Structure 1
Amino acid sequence: MLLATLLLPLAFAPPEAGGELAAAQAIFDESCTLCHDSSDDVLNLEDIGALVGVPSTTGKPYVDPGNPNGSYLYMKMVGAEGIEGETMPMGDDPLPVDQLTVVQQWIAALPPANTQKDPAGEGETGEGETGEGEVGDGPGVHTNVQPPTPPKRKPKEPFFGTFQMNLPTTTTLGKKVIAYRIHHRLGLVGGPGDRTYIGLAGGATISMGIEYGVIDGLDLVLRWTSSRLDWELGAKYVPIRQEAGKPVSFGVYASLEALTDFPSNSVNPITGNFQLMLSRLWFERWSTQLTVNYSLLTNHSPTVLYDFGEGNGPEPVTDNRGTLNAGVVSTVWLGKKKKHGIDLEYQLPIPVDAFYYRGGDVDPGGTKIGSWGLGWSARTGMHVFQVFVTNTRNMHTNLVAPGGDTANPFSPFGDFFFGFNITRKWKL
């Protein structure tokens, strides 16, 4: 009887004051804190309660107590007018209405900032303005908060990343977005008992670079690779984009490359590339892209020999030919949310009179299969991860182009390398 008397008041107690906050925080923990955690100097969504009354970069408070429609955090989630940038989560579909409603109700339940205790301690003063719905019996109490309107679904870009494995794609970063990219290729995968341990103990090739979205559809790229100590400065322009409502995406990529290795290791140190790209996302499950690329001076080997037929036998030459090639890029999207997929990339030389396979007549026995890659990719927040197998250890456009380079062509089927790419994006 005594125990029942003690527990009776708890049975009729109002819900815990922090219940709405805990429910809202769980949503942010699941969908937002991968990018906006405590290390973010601008916005930490690991503690949304600390954002109450804090002004955003626009001047609007992130959380305006009692006023969801005036809270910048909520405005970004529903794509309201007046926000800067795109609806959050960035690069993903908007949150479902039931989750938006939880956030809305948490903000609506907060006492408005102008509600103050009466000095005499007999209640509260202030009008309890809500900015949305109707005011109930007391300040900050909402009796008719309308459920949020479902945000418009974001058009999906053809590919996760601005590059597939090696080839540029028609996906661009967007205005004022910066990305840091690491490409890594392990050593040649050997046979059983090989002490390279499937290439892990073999020599690796890396590339590191940054990309910047100047405007929607225009990106600049600067990257460096350990292969021939090559620098590549590129620009991608995609004026026709499927995600902007067009039936296909079409763009161009052009770059200059400077090989800074010793001349005894690399010839043709200044070179360049020009590529056309045409892509389409089919049924929201299958992305395809066709490319045509011309790369200048693709043979960087310093030991090319050629027999001119003058009776002197093979003589040292510098191969100044370029390479024309066609390519295909494809991704099949997997899972309900389509956040990972199976990736394919292939480049095939176009053998006309002016262009040659792997040195052409200098090496008539060279492989003619082109470069290929097959792997898996996933997007998590602002990160894109890719793992794959490929038959080339190069990554930059001119070095990976099928054609002239007699010192680093593409191995026959059966010889391949493991590789991975990692990209991290930031919105400036």
Structure 2
Amino acid sequence: MLLASLLLPLAFAPPEGDLAAVQEIFDESCTLCHDASDDMLNLEDPSALVGRPSTTGMALIEPGKPNESYLYLKMVAAEGIEGESMPMGDDPLPVEQLSVVQSWIASLPPAEDAPPAGEGTDEAGEAAPAPAGEAGEGMPVPPADTPIVPPKRKPKQPFFGSHQINLQTTTTLGKKTISFRIHHRFGLVGTPGDRNYLGMANGAVMSMGAEYGIIDGLDVLARWTTARLGWELGLKYVPIRQEEGMPLSFGVYASGEALTTTTSSSANRFTGNFQVMLSRLWFERWSTQLTVNYSALTNHAPSVSVDIDDDGVADAVTDDRGTLNLGLASTLWLGKKRKHGIDLEYQLPIPSDVFYYNGGNANPNGSKVGSWALGWSARTGLHVFQVFVTNTRNIHTNLVAPGGDTKNPFSPFGEFFFGFNITRKWKL
């Protein structure tokens, strides 16, 4: 029995050089991004990468030589690799899986045109290291017998993406990374019996935009929404980042917005926002963020109030007040790999006549519940997908401010919307 218990694990262990086991690893962790549509790195067919040069000049897979295969070196976070180790944005693969990939590469027969003994070998006949510039711009090549050292776990940013649901977060894209975002809000859900199919048959609001990481911690954003045909151009700077060893993350976001509908539909056509963010990831499971956001000129109705002059004539005037909000964002990460999360967002307008809030003077007794959203998110590779329910239909920073354009907050339970956000990133 003792002998059987020792030999049984070996019977079910993948054989050395098992391509099927390697493919299973790649399918689980890599092919969502590196599939057949990737001309450079199609991990649905790793055999086709044998001998193919990487962007550094080193072969992606050098048959028989894992430590001279750039694909493997990226997976073990070897010294000198370009960019971050793989999988991008995720923890490194466990040593057991790295060993399977290593064994498969080591089992591949050398290329037929390999240099004969004495050419490219040292005096003992062993393969000599590639000259500087041939194996990755002088990248050091580990000796062939180097054991697998578990790569360090990648530091986590506080949130999945650069947005929670509506609020900006302290998460940034990173240098030379571009992101495309689609935000969508269905129509008012209504009451039971309404033929609006939970709001999907009503008019929808959507936003499309792109972000670009100029340097680590500095992103620029441009997006457009169907609500009042608004454009937003923003800049986010996060100089203090928890993922770099600080106790928390601190950042600011500033943006300008232009509403391009006709003047008969929108007053205060040029507005702006400023947001301060303070966040922390707790136990790698729970993310929290406090924000203070000021949005200027948040009442966009073309005739928002009247002013009685000395002759008793009522003249239409615009309301030039802004809205000051306190915000909370939180995510609870779920699952062994923390690829799913429960998301919460809340914004509370400061009730002061100095600011525009609660529908302004036209609705002084309206609801003070604030702007909220609750949903679920999933991160797979370079994608983030969110679905949620919220009591605010708009998306862009100024338009979503409680008490602003949509006269949020609504009544506590009577009016809400379903929505989703989709994000896709590319490393340039």
Is contact 1:376-1:387 (8 Å) kept? Answer: yes
Which residue identity lines up with residue 408 of structure 2 in the other structure?
Answer: P
Which residue identity lines up with residue 220 of structure 1 in the other structure?
Answer: V
Deviation at 1:128, TM superposition (A): 6.6
Q: Which moved more, 1:306-315 or 1:170-179?
A: 306-315
Which residue identity lines up with residue 284 of structure 2 in the other structure?
Answer: E
Q: How does 1:157-168 map to 2 (within 5 A)?
A: 157-168=157-168
**Match of 2:4?**
none
**Match of 2:102?**
104
Distance 1:112 1:259, change over 3 A: same
- Counterparts of 2:125 and 2:388 in 1: how far apart (Å)? 62
**Match of 1:394?**
394
**Match of 2:36?**
38
Deviation at 1:108, TM superposition (A): 1.1
Alignment pair present for 1:94 and 2:102 = no
Offset from partner CA, 1:306-365 (integer Å, 9 cap, x none): 465979586532111111111000011111111111100011111234213134323313
Which residue identity lines up with residue 98 of structure 2 in the other structure?
Answer: L
Q: Which moved more, 1:20-29 or 1:167-176?
A: 20-29
Q: Secondary structure at the match of 2:373?
A: strand
Distance 1:417 1:409, change over 3 A: same
Structure 2 unpaired stretches of 5+: 1-13, 117-123, 130-143
Is contact 1:334-1:340 (8 Å) kept? Answer: yes
- Counterparts of 1:283 and 1:345 in 2: how far apart (Å)? 20
**Match of 1:141?**
none
Structure 1 unpaired stretches of 5+: 1-15, 119-125, 132-143
Which residue identity lines up with residue 20 of structure 1 in the other structure?
Answer: D
Offset from partner CA, 1:367-395 (integer Å, 9 cap, x none): 32221100111101111010000011111
- Counterparts of 1:160 and 1:282 in 2: how far apart (Å)? 14
Distance 1:153 1:261, change over 3 A: same
**Match of 1:25?**
23
Which residue identity lines up with residue 373 of structure 1 in the other structure?
Answer: A
Deviation at 1:117, TM superposition (A): 11
- Counterparts of 2:367 and 2:332 in 1: how far apart (Å)? 29
- Counterparts of 2:404 and 2:307 in 1: how far apart (Å)? 17
**Match of 1:83?**
81
- Counterparts of 1:112 and 1:339 in 2: how far apart (Å)? 39
Offset from partner CA, 1:224-277 (integer Å, 9 cap, x none): 000000000001000100011100000000001110011111111111111100
> What is the TM-score of this pair, normalised by structure 2?
0.87
Alignment pair present for 1:293 and 2:293 = yes
Is contact 1:306-1:362 (8 Å) kept? Answer: no
Distance 1:409 1:307, change over 3 A: farther
Distance 1:210 1:116, change over 3 A: closer
Q: Secondary structure at the match of 2:219?
A: strand
**Match of 1:413?**
412
Distance 1:363 1:71, change over 3 A: same
Distance 1:212 1:117, change over 3 A: closer
> What is the TM-score of this pair, normalised by structure 1?
0.87
Q: Of residues 50, 53, 57 in structure 2, which corresponds to 1:52?
A: 50
Which residue identity lines up with residue 55 of structure 1 in the other structure?
Answer: P
Q: Secondary structure at the match of 1:188?
A: coil
Offset from partner CA, 1:184-224 (integer Å, 9 cap, x none): 00010111110101101010000000011111101110000
**Match of 2:326?**
326
